[in-house]
Amino acid sequence: QVQLVESGGGLVQPGESLRLACAASGFPFSLYSMKWYRQAPGKQRELVARISSGGGSTDYADSVKGRFTISRDNGKNTVYLQMNNVNAEDTAVYYCNARVVERSIPRDYWGQGTQVTVSS
């Protein structure tokens, strides 16, 4: 079955960097685009970044553009989110997402999430 396992979260100070990873299994990873979302307390889950199946195309939320970089290693079935120059507004639980087509029906899969807390 499809599994997504995030790692790399933690407590960081404003201006520091952090790299999140999401290990995927149970589907042909290299054929699917991948996304990172985040959800802050009391707020809706929001799309942070997206990467195409081959890694050649990426998109970012305006709030993280220029600070975050999404990448992937199809040989390791892993997608990454490099977070630089973080600030308090980046505090959230970060989730990776894959929309996998099964029997012609697309279904969203989510990891368990990893907490990122930015605080001095």
- Region 21-33: mean pLDDT is 97
- Is residue 66 within 8 A of residue 5, CB to CB? The reply is no
53-to-8, 15, 34, 44, 48 alpha-carbon distances in Å: 22, 30, 7, 26, 17
Amino acid code (one letter) for 78: T
Q: How far apart are CA 75 and CA 71, in angstroms?
A: 12
Percentage of the chain with pLDDT > 90?
99
Q: What pLDDT score was predicted for residue 29?
A: 98
Q: How far apart are CA 113 and CA 111, in angstroms?
A: 5
Q: How far apart are CA 57 and CA 51, in angstroms?
A: 6
Q: How far apart are CA 110 and CA 112, in angstroms?
A: 7
Q: What pLDDT score was predicted for residue 107?
A: 96
Model confidence pLDDT, tens digit, residues 58-114: 999 999 999 999 999 999 999 999 999 999 999 999 999 999 999 999 999 999 999
Q: What pLDDT score was predicted for residue 21?
A: 98
3-class DSSP state of 18: strand
Amino acid code (one letter) for 69: T
